[in-house]
């Protein structure tokens, strides 16, 4: 299990955060696949591996490890995010070997289309920065496909700094957070 402390369970207008549990796995996987389909329908290759049955971030194992957080409203799954306190093989490939000890790795932030357009994605990202505490972690790192300009803009608006492009076609973003 992860060493973390939730500082705030309520994120916005009746939405609340909680760790994902095994019973959520099917709903979480369904949300991620629907999001991958939505992205594909808009011309993005982000998360295309999920549509082919490849889960590079092992969502079920990450739930068991306590790294997946769900956001619900009236018990309905509205969003999900994965926060890894240690880099995965994927993260090491993209980021190299530096800076891992102080970093949290954010993956699979997805919002149900039913709740889209309400600022929930921004609320989840803010919650990952301030609503949960991982001891000794002072920054969040994330990546996304290089061809998703809307997502790049979103991350920049949210205060994430562009840290470069990986040769395999991913852009890297990072934000400093409080260690308290």
pTM attached to this predicted model = 0.94
Second CATH level (architecture) for the domain 5-138: 3-Layer(aba) Sandwich (3.40)
Indicate whether 1 pLDDT > 50.
no
Mean pLDDT of 18-40: 94
Beta-ladder partners of 143: 172
- pLDDT at residue 180, as a whole number: 66
Q: What is the mean pLDDT of the chain?
A: 92
Indicate whether 20 pLDDT > 90.
yes
pLDDT band at 2 (very low <50, low <70, confident <90, very high): low
Indicate whether 58 pLDDT > 50.
yes
Per residue in 87-104, pLDDT (tens digit) is: 999 999 999 999 999 999
pLDDT band at 29 (very low <50, low <70, confident <90, very high): very high
- What is the strand order of the sheet 161-166 is part of? 10-12, 15-19, 68-73, 76-84, 103-111, 139-145, 170-176, 161-166
Mean pLDDT of 29-50: 90
Cβ of 37: how many Cβ atoms within 10 Å? 14
Locate the domains of the chain by residue range.
5-138
């Amino acid at each position: 299990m992860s060493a973390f402390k939730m500082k705030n369970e309520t994120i916005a207008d009746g939405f609340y955060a909680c760790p994902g549990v095994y019973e959520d796995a099917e709903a979480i996987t369904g949300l991620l696949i629907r999001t991958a389909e939505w992205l594909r329908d808009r011309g993005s290759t982000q998360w295309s591996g999920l549509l082919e049955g490849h889960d590079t971030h092992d969502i079920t194992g990450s739930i068991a490890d306590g790294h997946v957080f769900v956001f619900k409203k009236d018990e309905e799954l509205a969003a999900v995010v994965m926060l890894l306190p240690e880099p995965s093989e994927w993260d090491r490939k993209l980021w190299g070997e530096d800076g891992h000890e102080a970093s949290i790795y954010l993956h699979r932030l997805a919002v149900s289309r039913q709740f889209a357009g309400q600022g929930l994605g921004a609320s989840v990202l803010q919650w990952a920065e301030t609503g949960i505490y991982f001891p000794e972690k002072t920054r969040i790192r994330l990546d996304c496909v290089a061809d998703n300009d809307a997502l790049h803009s979103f991350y920049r608006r949210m205060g994430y700094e562009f840290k470069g492009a990986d040769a395999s076609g991913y852009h890297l973003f990072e934000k400093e957070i409080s260690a308290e």
